[in-house]
Amino acid sequence: MANKLSGVLICRACQGIALSALTLLLTTGVAQAQSLEVTNARLSLLPGNTPGAGYFDLQNSGDETVTLVGAESPAFEHVEMHVSSEHNGMAHMHAIESIEIGPGERIEFAPKGHHLMFLRRAAPLSEGDKADVELKFSDEQRLPVTFDVVSPASL
């Protein structure tokens, strides 16, 4: 605990140095982060404590395939990756472990398709708020993304 705290303090005091150190340590990771871009990140949420859905576009401009393996957010207890589908008049939803994004490829997490499922709010959240989320990739790389909390009526 003490270690973690001092770590945070040092980072805040000398962010520049910390960043260059990170660059040295995670050269490949940083190169990848620069080639990944998330846009249109929205977290569809209703009042109460029912789960929310995360939607976004993810562009891989790099020349290597990346694999998205999940997400985490301090605002929720759990975040899962899901796909909704429809067969013979039935709406289904199931969890997925990973999704690959090839070089130059763009994937869309959108209503009635792929989505992040956000479970159990750590603190009250409502329309107009922001939620910090980290997308996790198979090579341990994490991409921080700020989601706008919206009503499903806006989608």
Partner 1 sequence: MYKLLLAGLTTFLLAGCSDQSWRTTDIGDIMPALDFSLTDEEGERVQGEDYRGKATLVYFGYTFCPDVCPITLARLGDTIRNLDDETRDNIQVLFISVDPSRDTPEVLKRYTDAFGPEFVGLTGEQAEIDAVTNRYRIAYDYGEENENGDYLVSHSSAVFAFDREGQAQFLVRDSHPVSDAEADIKRLASQDG
Task: State the residues that interact with Cu ion by CB under 5 A.
Answer: 82, 93, 117
Helices 27-35, 15-25: inter-axial angle, 10-degree rounding: 100
Q: Measure CA 140 to chain center.
A: 13
Please identify which residue in 35, 84, 134, 148 interacts with partner 1, judged by CB under 8 A: 84
Residue nearest to Cu ion (CB): 82
Q: Does 25 bind partner 1 (CB under 8 A)?
A: no
Token digits of residue 49? 């404590």
Please identify which residue in 53, 81, 131, 143 interacts with partner 1, judged by CB under 8 A: 53
* Partner in contact with 128, chosen from Cu ion, partner 1, none, beta carbon below 5 to 8 Å by kind: none
With respect to partner 1, which residue has the nearer C-beta, 104 or 111? 111
Helices within 44-95 (DSSP H only): none
With respect to Cu ion, which residue has the nearer C-beta, 65 or 98? 98
Per residue, the 3-state secondary structure of 90-112, as one string, reads EEEEEECCCEEECCCCEEEECCC
